[in-house]
Amino acid sequence: MAADDSNDALSHANGWRPGNSLLVVCFGEMLIDFVPSVGGVSLAEAPAFEKAAGGAPANVAVGISRLGGSAAFVGKVGDDEFGYMLANILKQNNVDNSGVRFDHNARTALAFVTNRADGEREFLFFRHPSADMLLHESELDVELISKAKIFHYGSISLIDEPCKSAHLAAMKIAKNSGSILSYDPNLRLPLWPSAEAAREGIMNIWDQADIIKISEEEITFLTGGEDPNDDNVVLDRLFHPNLKLLIVTEGSEGCRYFTKEFRGRVAGVKVKAVDTTGAGDAFVGGILFCLASDPNLYKDEERLRQALLFANVCGAVTVTKRGAIPALPTKEAVLSLLTQAAS
């Protein structure tokens, strides 16, 4: 990564003031992750587990708030100890939780997740059904969603009714209110009835998003096995006429970006990784934090590159600690790593 890129991002990042930040509303699931107490083991090999707040949209909301931005979360948890714990974690992290609902009949979702020694992530979900799947359209906080400058969501909330209908209704409310729609599919194949159902469900709302972030693995999946490194595959198969910005994350290598006018790559920042959980959500939180302060930055390639470097560093800081929400960085931590990279 070029030092001048870091210097540019550093100077620009100082302009992303919390007071300038418009509201980002994140919609979807919030759950309890159970993570092995030691790294590099399968779920069966784990000697013990530690509980941590999880769920990609909630992680993104906390990520934005921790950077100094304005964020709210809309979703449903169980009327149980874990559900109240999650709502309190949002509040403690200055995320507006007024859109959180509590289900009296279903429990808060649980997920056991590990990064095995071979580098593969392993998931085991308990959602039969869980509270997040049971959010009804009538329970949406319409006023809160209408205030969003950016409305962010994933695809897990599209799998089951009634949450699917609530998700689609929330998107419509946000769009009609002038929100930028931000989509991170966050593919979790075991939760879908089949691979084909996942592909269809994720792509059904593809054309409505203004901003999309996807991983290389998701490109391969959504295109039926095509090369994720081929920019033409991305442009031909996944870029749509209404899209303002498409971002392909490449882990520690950084990211690629595509707009109607330009495309390119921004290198990552090398750090010693301890736990990659939440890195993608930290990246999304970083770029949405920048967009909430500067909604037209995708039109200027230099400003966009600086914002993407900032987001890359958000992801890099996160992998140096265990867990998702506990590891999400402050703006000071991001600027500190940017300073190191620039020197």
- In order along its 343 residues, the chain shows pLDDT tens digits of 555 566 566 556 555 554 567 999 999 999 999 988 888 899 999 999 999 999 999 999 999 999 999 999 999 999 999 999 999 999 999 999 999 999 999 999 999 988 888 767 788 999 999 999 999 999 999 999 999 999 999 999 999 999 999 999 999 999 999 999 999 999 999 999 999 999 999 999 999 999 999 999 999 999 999 999 999 999 999 999 999 999 999 999 999 999 999 999 999 999 998 878 889 999 999 999 999 999 999 999 999 999 999 999 999 999 998 778 889 999 999 999 999 877 6
Instruction: Determine the number of helices (DSSP H) and then strands (DSSP E) in the chain.
Output: 11, 13
Give the type of residue at 279: A
CA distances from 85 to 28, 66, 82, 217 (A): 17, 18, 5, 33
* Confidence at residue 39, expressed as pLDDT on a 0 to 100 scale: 82
What's the pLDDT at 163? Answer: 98
Residue 176's CB: how many other CB atoms inside 10 A?
10
Q: Which pLDDT does position 130 carry in this prediction?
A: 97
d(CA 334, CA 325): 15
**pLDDT score recorded for residue 262:** 96
Strand-pair partners of 54: 31
Amino acid at 98: S
Cβ(119)–Cβ(41) below 8 Å: no
What does the alpha-carbon distance between residue 102 and residue 43 come to, in Å, rounded to a whole number? 29
- At residue 27, what is the residue type? F
Q: What is the pLDDT of residue 313?
A: 97
Look at residues 27, 24, 46, 23 and name the one whose alpha carbon lies nearest to residue 35: 46
Dist CA 229 CA 216 (whole Å)? 8
Query: According to the model, what pLDDT value does residue 167 have?
Result: 98
**CA end-to-end span of the chain:** 11
Nearest C-alpha neighbor of 99 from the set 125, 68, 65, 71:
71
Cβ(167)–Cβ(74) below 8 Å:
no
CA angle (61 as vertex; 196, 331 as ends), nearest 5: 125
Q: What is the DSSP string of 281-312?
A: HHHHHHHHHHHHH-TTGGGSHHHHHHHHHHHH
Question: Under a CB-based contact definition with an 8 Å cutoff, are residues 50 and 15 in contact?
Answer: no
